Chain A
Amino acid sequence: MNIIVCIKQVPDTAEIRINPETNTLMREGVPSIINPFDLHAIEAAVQIREAGGGKVTVLTMGPPQAETSLREAISMGADEAILLSDRAFAGSDTWATSYTLALAIKKLEFDIVFCGKQAIDGDTAQVGPETAEFLGIPHISYIRKIDEVRDDYIKVERLMDDGYDVVESSLPVLLTVVRELNEPRMPSLRGKMAAKKAGIRKMCMTDIGADENSLGLRGSPTQVRNIFAPEVRAERKMIEGTAEEQVDNLIKELKDIKCL
């Protein structure tokens, strides 16, 4: 079984702070990590290989420094790693990202493609399904459990708002996974050694035969017009005084508007 895992190197968004004076992001010192959902995708792929044999290939699209995330994936048990990197990819929205990823995946053999359900920097959850569409294969989102995998068949549980669906699909298929699926393993010592030595295969625009007009900013239908901090609520009232006065005044306010 050939399994491809798409991963993304992201800034640890929990560590990002906003400069209150300029309303801009402060990135300095923010660590780069593998998107947390993608760790579960790697784990799922490695477990399937351990059970039935095959090969796990991790793929990332990003700047050259994303190589560190690929090595980390190898230390968790992935067999091969591919860095999809080109200046022409810069500024890609979800459409252009999916188009690019799909072209790279088409150069490989695959039965299952795994993605995390979404990346914590963009939070769109769109790249998985869009990539499946470009590949012309089915996809199942929000996988929380894998019940059965055979050569041409898979049965999984898909998390819904009000419960879960048991879904079957033919292969090849693309699956996006949620945290409940598994507990990602820590890299083993052997894994770390393998990660150090591993050769990283590199692919650029010409390697995947991409149409330059569909790449990066040029190929992206959406564009960011501007970014800003949320607005201040107009009718705000600060309640001053000692703690006791504050509490009494709040109670009074709530009584006045018939909320208590």
Chain B
Amino acid sequence: MPVIVIPDKCTGCETCLESCPFDAIEFRDGKAYINEYCNSCMNCLSGCPEGAIIETEPGARNTEHRQSLEDYKDVLVFAEQREGRVVPVSYELLGVGRRLSDELGARLIAVLFGAGEPEAQELVKWGADKVFLCSDASLRKFSDDVYSEMLAKIINEQKPSIVLAGATPVGRSFIPRVAARLRTGLTADCTSLEIDKETGNLLQVRPAFGGNIMAAILCPDYRPQMATVRPRVMKRGEYDENRTGEVITVQIDSTKSRTNVLEFVKEVSEVSVNLHEADIIVAGGRGIGGEKGYKLIEELAEALGGAVGASRAAIDEGWIPYSHQVGQTGKTVNPKIYFACGISGAVQHLVGMQSSDIIIAINKNPEAPIFNVATYGIVGDLFEIVPMLTKKVREVKGM
């Protein structure tokens, strides 16, 4: 372990226990011992009043491969297209990217494969200073090999400090290859990206441990700092009709793709379209107790003209089909109003819905974490509250 206890200094006071978020400190023969759950977060170093817990080799991280960090300056966004059209998460990334590059006093670069000049100009209006565009029609079809090769080459030439991509099936598939090739870190599904004021490093926040808690991740010694962000987690930036930027044409790489897409079959489920487009979502969790509860949720959604969502607990119990799942392993939604009925509010669920404008939580347990993110909280029995709410909504709407 990179963290050890000096037995002579340890007084066995157990103060350090609370400093460890990973439950990695145990007491053996009255002395602290760091077990294999240690994630090297170093929280315990300051958690010991005796200074008995130390890093085995301070700065033991291997920096042999470390790039000279000063050479890496800009922010680069990979803008993805499907069927020739830029996917919405790209505009959300440009919003974040613009903010980060302004803070760093750097340029915002976008990379676009398989779309045309008009799409590239749109990226400029959404905030890019420079767009590297390869409009070769063969790139409309996604290829891990060709995309990886071309993006890695642009990164090696442009040396951005930060690289952002959408956590879509495309981004999640080839961006890891790029990170492996560049020998750098990649943080998946970030929910917040900030520049650390002291060091200028990118502070990447994401859910950890199956979405039970949030973790702040750094990539201090390697560049670029790479992160993916799920669709609809971040807000779009400002669209400026008059913004100008440079579009640079890139030639297609001669790399031969070892995989080949023969055919794309479109198959969009009605449920997922509804969840993404609905202004109102009524979601149920473990508290709905079964199909009877599900019915109540459905009725309220119907009265409000909204869609039905669910937490993982309700899915796992088999009360609501998987396609309705909202959360880290389901869909990310941001409706105007989100009703959370009988949902306790595990981080795994919260990351999928907390950017909703208004969150209404209905739960029996006043301690449920869902109330922490709620705009309006009702402590009560959903079997009593929800049907009454449905009835009154119908009255208001004259239904």
A residues engaging B (CB < 8 A)? 11, 13-14, 16-18, 20, 22-28, 63, 90-91, 93-95, 98-99, 120-130, 132-134, 137-142, 155, 158-170, 173, 213-214, 217-233, 235-239, 243-244, 246-248, 250-251, 253-255, 257, 259-260
Contacts and interface: CB of A to CB of B under 8 A. Distances in A.
B16 interface: no
Nearest to A16: B212
Nearest to A234: B375
Nearest to B20: A24
B262 A223 contact: no
Main secondary structure of the interface of A (DSSP, over half): mixed
A39 to B, nearest CB: 15
A83 B79 CA distance: 40
A239 B215 contact: no
Interface in B345-399: 347, 350, 354, 358-360, 367, 369, 371-381, 384-385, 388-389, 392-393, 396-397
Contact of A166 (B217, B262, B371): B262
Interface in B256-310: 257-268
Interface string B176-218: 1101110111111100000000000001000111111111111
B371 A246 contact: no
25 contacts: A14-B210, A18-B213, A25-B23, A94-B176, A95-B185, A123-B189, A124-B189, A126-B172, A128-B176, A129-B144, A162-B82, A162-B267, A169-B260, A173-B258, A221-B221, A222-B185, A225-B218, A227-B21, A227-B208, A227-B213, A227-B215, A230-B347, A230-B369, A238-B371, A247-B389
Given A138-B258, A142-B173, A259-B336, A25 B179 contact: no
Contact of A142 (B169, B217, B260, B264): B169
Interface residues of B, number: 104
Given A141-B169, A163-B267, 19 more contacts: A17-B212, A24-B21, A63-B36, A91-B38, A123-B207, A123-B210, A124-B186, A167-B259, A213-B65, A223-B220, A224-B40, A227-B214, A228-B216, A233-B373, A236-B372, A239-B377, A244-B388, A250-B378, A251-B389
Given A243-B384, A248-B392, A123 B211 contact: yes
Contacts of B28: none
B312 interface: yes
Nearest to A129: B176
Contacts of B36: 63, 90
Contact of A24 (B22, B187, B371): B22
B36 to A, nearest CB: 5
B169 A163 contact: no
B106 interface: no
Interface string B77-121: 000001000000000000000000000000000000000000000
Contact of A121 (B168, B210, B397): B210
Contacts, number: 286
A138 B40 contact: no
Interface stretch (B7-15, B56-64, B130-138): B56-64
B328 interface: yes
Contacts of A255: 396
Question: Which 3 A-B residue pairs are closest in the complex by CB-CB distance?
Answer: A13-B210, A221-B185, A222-B185
A121 B65 CA distance: 29
Contacts of A155: 262
A83 to B, nearest CB: 15
A221 B259 CA distance: 29
A120 B259 contact: no
A33 B28 CA distance: 27
Nearest to B223: A221
Interface in B149-182: 168-170, 172-174, 176-177, 179-181
Nearest to A221: B185
Nearest to A172: B258
B329 interface: yes
A26 B21 CA distance: 9
Contacts of A227: 21-22, 41, 208, 213-216
Contact of B360 (A93, A228, A250): A250
A99 B184 CA distance: 12
B37 interface: yes
Nearest to A13: B210
A137 B258 CA distance: 9
B180 A224 contact: no
Contacts of A126: 172, 176, 179, 186, 188
Nearest to B337: A259
B122 interface: no
A160 B2 contact: no
B41 A222 contact: no
A228 B144 contact: no
Contacts of A220: 61, 185
A225 to B, nearest CB: 4
A127 B222 CA distance: 18
B209 A16 contact: yes
